[in-house]
Amino acid sequence: MPPDSSKPPTSAGKSLRLLIVEHEQADVDLCCRELHKAGLVFEADTVATREEFASKLRQQSFDVVLADYRLPGWNGMDALALIKELRLDIPLILVTGTLGDGLAVECIKQGITDYVLKDQLAHLPMAIQRAQEEKKVREAERRAVLALRASEARYRGLVENATYGIYWVTLQGELLAANPALIHMLGYDSADEFLALKHSQLLYRDTEARKTLLDRYQSEGHVDAIVEWKRKDGKFISVRLNGRRARDSEQNSECMEVIVEDITERLALEKQLVQAQKFEAIGQLAGGISHDFNNMIGAIIGWADLGMEETDPASRLHRHFQKMRQQADRAAALTRQLLAFARRQILEPRNMDLNQAIPETLSLLEKVIGGNIEVKSNLAHDLAVVCADPTQVEQIVMNLCINARDAMPNGGSLAIQTCNATFDDDYCLAQPYARPGHYSMLSVSDSGTGMDAATLDRIFEPFFTTKDQGKGTGLGLATVYGIVRQHGGFIHVYSELNVGTIFRVYLPASTQAPKKTERIQDSSPVRGGTETILVAEDHEGLREVARETLTKFGYRVILAADGEQAVNEYLLHHNEIDIILMDVVLPKFSGPEAYARIRESGAEVPVIFATGYSADIALLERARQQSLPMLQKPYSPRDLARKVRDTLDQHQHRLVSHD
């Protein structure tokens, strides 16, 4: 080999373990002398036979093997073969007398680290030094390879066990690989079945969306987007794609590595939350307007009734008052619907069986629905009882049936069904208004025109309607929504264009037995009196109607416009006042608060609370516990006079009983 002018370091370092394979001791001594001269620190073992060599390799570890090429019965290449057989990484340097160029090249090809001729032993220290450095490089490379393999194994583990879907695709859209999470997400049985699609464009609901993403991948190198994909079963899901350009090591070409998250459920929840917030805001507005509107309607109803009573039924003026009353009734119905949507109605709940309300309501709707619509019912015989207001349940059934009728202008079928339902925590996580427990389900389905997604998003909004102008108020379904929510239930809607729609109403089940109650209409004449009545009402129109009505029936009336004035008027006339008519919501002091202050004076005067707004219930809680009489707005003059007379008579009866 060519001479090497570089010098090995002479400073003492870590002691090298050398194994010298040589049958001539003089040659061993020459090698050791040359190494000592170079300043190498080493320990050397010497062997001459194949057996001794193999035994030493198995017993100890060595840094370098120095071997003569020609040995009795074997040679240096045999020594190399034995090192390989034992899977040892030990550099082998041939120290030989002669070695032709051809043989030297062959030895190097077979794995000999280096060779030094015996007449050039001055090169031996540097050859050992190079062999050690090459060994360190190989060890570093081996460690790097092992680390890379470990990293790849961890990466494969992360990919295989990831909860997010991951897939690789060429820039042209050819599917390369996918992890189990993506296979499961899309409903395929195996990766092979999924990859059989060949091209990613088959995943997209909108192929234009894939082209847009591909342009972004190529121009920006990464993408973060939400698209719709199609599952194996044909259902569409919303997915978020977060991808980057990568390298396909197998094909040595560019590809895209994409992480996929199924956000269908999350988007649905966000949509429901936005919808709930929107309905809550609209409900607060509608409730506030309805509360004030109720007072105005009450005044109109009062004056219209008074006008009809004081005019000849055959007169034109009487008919005018009658028309006013009819329009006021329609306005009152509209207000009740707004209050229903806003969940501000005064409910009178009782334990009832939904199955009993359905036949009664259908009999009322028989002529309205029409003969070209087939009505079917399937009512569960073991349906759980619900605690609900029967009038409001009737309103739910009527509104849903009329809505179904309007969706079938050319006829069709309408089906009503009831059954029991139970929901657990997992289900309720995806339903904002659902609570775990037992429910009674009422469904109304039709075979009508159906609705698209945009219409479904708005069907419960007040005044939203798809009917022609003048053919609907847009409050029917809003009323259903409000009633169901006020009863602690929730409602589901499923619809397909030209297929039909199904509404499912879920009301919480009750553990109590249903109670049968009859609606009693009091048709007896209204009696008046001479007692003194304190009327506390902040709406001027209602105050005047109350004064006019009660004065007409013979009563003496004292008026108050707020709670503080009511207390002062009572303290001033306490010996004269026989009963108090008091609005629940009053300026300065609320009705219940003003009445409590009056009671602090020791008075036992009876009271009637007037209310038309469920938000008043919190103020009325104590009054409800005491079973104090209430008058629901808007009320007619006759209802007011009858309530006053009944309350006075009951109070007189109690006083006599106590005596």
> Model confidence at 10, in pLDDT bands (50, 70, 90)?
very low
CB 354 within 8 A of CB 393: yes
User: Rounded mean pLDDT of the chain?
Assistant: 81
Question: Which domain CATH number covers 545?
Answer: 3.40.50.2300
Distances (CA, A) of 231 to 120, 161, 210, 266, 390: 76, 21, 16, 18, 45
Across 237-241, average pLDDT: 90
Domain boundary among 294, 314, 341: 341
Question: What is the per-residue pLDDT across 99-136, written as a single tens digit (0 to 9) for each?
Answer: 887 888 888 888 898 888 988 998 899 999 998 888 88
Q: How far apart are CA 139 and CA 144, in angstroms?
A: 8
Per the model's pLDDT, the better-predicted residue between 82 and 171 turns out to be 82
Residue 474 shares a structural domain with residue 605: no
Across 286-290, average pLDDT: 63
Q: Is residue 517 part of a domain?
A: no
Question: Does pLDDT of 628 surpass 80?
Answer: no
Q: How far apart are CA 547 and CA 555, in angstroms?
A: 9
Q: Is residue 5 part of a domain?
A: no
Question: Which domain CATH number covers 421?
Answer: 3.30.565.10
Q: Is residue 215 part of a domain?
A: yes
Q: Is residue 4 part of a domain?
A: no
Question: How long, in residues, is the chain?
Answer: 659
**What burial class does residue 295 get, using C-beta atoms within 10 Å of its C-beta: 0-12 exposed, 13-18 middle, 19+ buried?**
buried
Return the minimum-mean-pLDDT range out of 282-291, 374-383, 386-395, 628-637: 282-291
What tokens appear for 509 in the block? 């089940």
pTM above 0.85, yes or no: no
Residue 382 shares a structural domain with residue 491: yes
Residue 257 shares a structural domain with residue 285: no
Residue 473 shares a structural domain with residue 360: yes
> Model confidence at 3, in pLDDT bands (50, 70, 90)?
very low
Please report the beta strands in 343-406, taking only residues with DSSP state E, as ranges in sequence order: 350-352, 373-378, 386-388
**What burial class does residue 67 get, using C-beta atoms within 10 Å of its C-beta: 0-12 exposed, 13-18 middle, 19+ buried?**
buried
Question: Does pLDDT of 657 surpass 70?
Answer: no
Give me the pLDDT at residue 6, please: 42
Please report the beta strands in 199-298, taking only residues with DSSP state E, as ranges in sequence order: 222-230, 236-248, 253-262
Question: What is the per-residue pLDDT across 212-225, written as a single tens digit (0 to 9) for each?
Answer: 888 888 778 788 88
Q: How far apart are CA 57 and CA 19, in angstroms?
A: 9
Per the model's pLDDT, the better-predicted residue between 407 and 337 turns out to be 407
Give me the pLDDT at residue 12, please: 45
The domain tally of the chain equals 5
Establish how many alpha carbons lie within 13 A of residue 189's alpha carbon, considering only the half-sphere containing its beta carbon.
Answer: 1
Q: Is residue 306 part of a domain?
A: yes
Residue 313 shares a structural domain with residue 364: no
Residue 634, preceding bond cis, omega within 30 degrees? Answer: yes
Question: What is the per-residue pLDDT across 388-432, written as a single tens digit (0 to 9) for each?
Answer: 888 788 888 888 888 888 888 888 888 999 999 888 877 776 676
Give me the pLDDT at residue 545, please: 87
Domain that holds residue 132: 16-139
DSSP state of 509: B
What percent of the chain has a predicted confidence (pLDDT) above 90? 16
Residue 298 shares a structural domain with residue 252: no
Establish how many alpha carbons lie within 13 A of residue 308's alpha carbon, considering only the half-sphere containing its beta carbon.
Answer: 16
Residue 378 shares a structural domain with residue 486: yes
Domain boundary among 296, 321, 341: 341
Give me the pLDDT at residue 43, please: 92
Residue 186 shares a structural domain with residue 285: no
Residue 188 shares a structural domain with residue 251: yes
- For 10, phi and psi rounded to 5 degrees? -100, -5
Residue 256 shares a structural domain with residue 293: no
Q: Is residue 155 part of a domain?
A: no
Q: Is residue 1 part of a domain?
A: no
Residue 102 shares a structural domain with residue 245: no
CA-based end-to-end distance of the chain: 137
> Model confidence at 11, in pLDDT bands (50, 70, 90)?
very low
Give me the pLDDT at residue 519, please: 47
Q: How far apart are CA 518 and CA 28, in angstroms?
A: 123
Q: How far apart are CA 174 and CA 201, in angstroms?
A: 9
Question: Which domain CATH number covers 239?
Answer: 3.30.450.20
Across 234-261, average pLDDT: 81
Residue 481 shares a structural domain with residue 394: yes
Q: How far apart are CA 489 and CA 433, in angstroms?
A: 7
Q: Is residue 644 part of a domain?
A: yes
DSSP 3-state assignment of 289?
helix
Residues whose CB falls within 8 Å of the CB of residue 423, separated by 6 or more in sequence, listed in order:
431, 434, 435, 436, 437, 439
Question: What is the per-residue pLDDT across 437-485, written as a single tens digit (0 to 9) for each?
Answer: 889 999 999 988 888 888 887 787 776 776 655 455 567 787 788 888 8
Across 252-280, average pLDDT: 77
